Amino acid sequence: MGVDPGLTRCGIGVVDGTVGRPLTMVDVSVVRTPADLDLARRLLRLENALDEAVRTHRPEILAVERVFSQHNVSTVMGTAQASGIAMLVAARHGLAVRLHTPSEVKAAVTGSGRADKAQVTLMVTRLLRLAQAPKPADAADALALAICQIWRGAAQDRLAAAVAAQAGRSAR
4 assigned to a ligand binding site:
yes
All domains of the chain in start order, with CATH: 2-171 (3.30.420.10)
**Encoded amino acid at 136, one letter:** P
Catalytic residues: 4, 65, 138
Closest alpha carbon to 49 in 26, 28, 27, 31: 31
16 assigned to a ligand binding site:
no
Q: pTM for the full model? A: 0.92
pLDDT, residue 159, reads 79
Q: Are 67 and 79 in contact (CB under 8 A)?
A: yes
pLDDT in tens, 30-40: 999 999 999 99
pLDDT of 83 > 90? The answer is: yes
pLDDT of 70 > 70? The answer is: no
51 assigned to a ligand binding site:
no
CA separation for the pair 161, 172 (Å, rounded): 17
